[in-house]
């Protein structure tokens, strides 16, 4: 079975008022125990909510985040940390990027390192950010949804 690490943009899309139909269909075909998020994703989502101005949208997102459908509840037991193993992978990735002159986002490489350390495929709609890694974009692969 394939294990998947969901990028923050995948979680954000899934909770939109009108999420991608192909994403929702793909997620419905997966076993919960094969879907993971990183602790960084929780932090990125929380930061995004905190940066919103006060109002109905922020209040609704605050309630979602803290509720049973929020990421910490929904992925309880399936939140992967940036641990020492992932840290060593991250250091290698960042050093490789520097020597090739093609730097990438430190945050994206934290997610890539967590995915590699936990034998997960990255699920993202920004494959370019994870060049050189095994990725899957359920927003682009509608015809393949049932296969993954």
pLDDT digits (tens, 9 = 90+) for 58-114: 999 999 999 999 999 999 999 999 999 999 999 999 998 777 777 788 999 999 999
Higher per-residue confidence, 69 vs 145: 69
pLDDT band at 141; cut points 50, 70, 90? low
pLDDT at 143: 40
Write out the chain in H/E/C secondary structure: CCCEEECHHHHHHHCCCCCCHHHHHHHHCCCHHHEEEEHHHHHHHHHHHHCCCCCHHHHHHHHHHHCCCCHHHHCCCCEECCCHHHHHHHHHHHHHHHHHCCCCCHHHHHHHHHHHHCCCEEECCCHHHHCCCCEECCCCCHHHHHHC
Whole-number mean pLDDT of the chain?
A: 91
Mean pLDDT of 34-53: 96
């Amino acid at each position: 079975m394939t294990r998947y690490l969901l990028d923050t943009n995948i979680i954000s899309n899934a909770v939109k008022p009108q999420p991608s139909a192909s994403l929702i269909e793909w997620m419905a075909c997966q076993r919960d125990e094969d879907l993971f998020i990183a602790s960084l994703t929780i932090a990125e989502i929380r930061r995004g909510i905190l940066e919103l101005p006060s109002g109905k949208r922020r209040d609704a997102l605050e309630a979602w985040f803290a509720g049973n459908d929020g990421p910490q509840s929904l992925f309880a037991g399936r939140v992967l940390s940036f641990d020492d193993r992932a840290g060593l992978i991250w250091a290698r990735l960042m050093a490789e990027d520097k020597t090739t002159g093609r730097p990438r986002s430190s945050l994206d490489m934290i997610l890539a390192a967590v995915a590699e350390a936990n034998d997960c495929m990255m699920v993202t709609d920004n494959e370019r950010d994870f060049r050189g890694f095994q990725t899957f974009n359920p927003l682009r692969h509608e015809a393949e949804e049932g296969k993954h």
